[in-house]
Structure 1
Amino acid sequence: MQIILCSLLGYFIGNINPAFLISKLKGFDIRKRGSGNAGASNTIITIGKKAGIFVAVFDILKAVAASILAAYLFPQIKFAKILSGSCCILGHIFPILMKFHGGKGLASLGGTILAFNPIFFVIMLIIELVLGLSLDYVCVVPVSGSVIFTLIYALSTGDAVGTSILSVVSLVILFKHIENFKRIQNGTEAHISFLWKKEQEIARIRKNTND
């Protein structure tokens, strides 16, 4: 029963989606514009940088809150932080309150890592920033980050249950980003440089879409 409650705690916190709420306040559904996802990157594309940063920070902190609250409420569960944080990621990706169409989980993954170990978070943030900027694609960050964190967690804790939970989350994140890799292949995936080369990126994507 405690494991179920711990899972539900994380899942429903994950359902709180600032990208969707902000877009509704502005009179549209963010899932029907840009990349079609209710997350920070699409918020930057469809609304602006300030809103996107707010959404990213919120999604990170909700996973931190879910993880820490679970550890406090369910101290008997060894993997409470990872369970609740992982369910928060899944709640963000598949929110029942939004008919299971949410974001892709990058920021909430970051929050789960931050709650587990702030030092790991900083190290992984540096690694993923270098990787993401080098390849110029955001989608490589959550996919590689989820795999790397799962390996780090497994080696540092030896917790088979927590590792299994993170492995499932990694597979879900990979599945959710298959369409991004397809867009990379046909040249219609937005680069990270969209942030400072917006007009050039829009023109490139439109050209490749028409081609």
Structure 2
Amino acid sequence: MGILIIRLIAVAVIGYLLGSLNTSIIVGKLYGTDIRKHGSGNAGMTNTLRTLGKAAALMVIAGDILKGVVSYLIGQLVVSTIPETVTLDLAGIGGMAAGMAAIAGHNWPVYFGFRGGKGILTSFAVVMMMDWKLGLILLGIFAVIVAVTRYVSLGSIIASAAFPVGAAIKGNGPVFIVFSAVLAILAVARHSGNIKRLLSGSEAKLGQKKKANG
């Protein structure tokens, strides 16, 4: 058990450091822009799309997904060889721990003053690694909500909240459900400002420019 805990801590640190490579901030710097000083101020794909355009947004999508996938794979590689993961029914815990840490790194990047994004793309990558079938269902929910309302934030919130519900209905194990619930809470909490704007009717829709600090 001691070795398991040590390796879990190690992969969490690795995941956090990888997640802290906030792609939108890095891409923004390539454009000579601090994305956090424009639009909504959020260091994420949607604000990058509004501020810098489609090419920059595509780079952010690729980077955010890649770091979630890589973190998960490293976590699995390092932890899955420990016998306790089988005897204690902890399959996938290494990947989940590293993936969750990558999301935390994206949200609070150590390299960028702990001011990051909301972690939705990295979260989606981790979800797909955890259970790709459930991930596709959540992607479908997100797509329908955005198509109907044009609110990316609302799609992200509803899809995130549906993750632990879907995991429970699908019959995933207790460790999986706990991780999915933590991920959902983290994602929804990061959208607290969006929730307030949705309720007040001031949230920007997809394709609509957003006022600074709005």
TM-score between the two structures when normalised by the length of structure 1: 0.85
Structure 2 gap ranges (5+): 1-5, 86-90
Residue type matched to 2:161 in 1? V
Q: 1:182 aligns with which of 196, 199, 212?
A: 196
Q: Is 1:161 equivalent to 2:175 in the alignment? A: yes
Q: Distance in 2 between matches of 1:184 and 1:146?
A: 16
1:108–1:45 Cα change, 3 Å = same
The code of the aligned residue for 1:2 comes to R
Structure 1 residue identity aligned to 2:181? S
Q: Is the 8 A contact 2:163 2:184 kept in 1?
A: no
1:161–1:121 Cα change, 3 Å: closer
In structure 2, what is the equivalent of residue 133 of structure 1?
147
Matched letter for residue 98 of structure 1: F
Tell me if 1:16 matches 2:30. no
Q: What's the % identity of the aligned pairs?
A: 29
Any gaps of 5 or more consecutive residues in structure 1?
195-200
The question of 1:34 aligning with 2:39 is answered yes
The corresponding residue for 1:111 is: 125
Q: Give me the TM-score of the superposition, normalised by structure 2.
A: 0.83
CA distance in 2, matches of 1:84, 1:155: 25
Residue 149 of structure 2 is aligned to residue 149 of structure 1:
no
The 5 Å alignment of 1:181-200 reads 181-192=195-206, 194=207
CA distance in 2, matches of 1:115, 1:87: 14
Superposition RMSD in Å: 2.0
> Residue in 2 aligned with 1:120?
134
Q: Greater shift after overlay, 179-188 or 169-178?
A: 179-188
Deviation at 1:6, TM superposition (A): 1.9
One-letter code aligned to 2:95:
K
- Equivalent residues, number: 198
Which position in structure 2 is the counterpart of 1:197? none
Residue 171 in 1 paired to residue 185 in 2? yes
Cα pair distance change 1:21/1:12, threshold 3 Å: same
The residue that corresponds to 2:77 in the other structure is 72
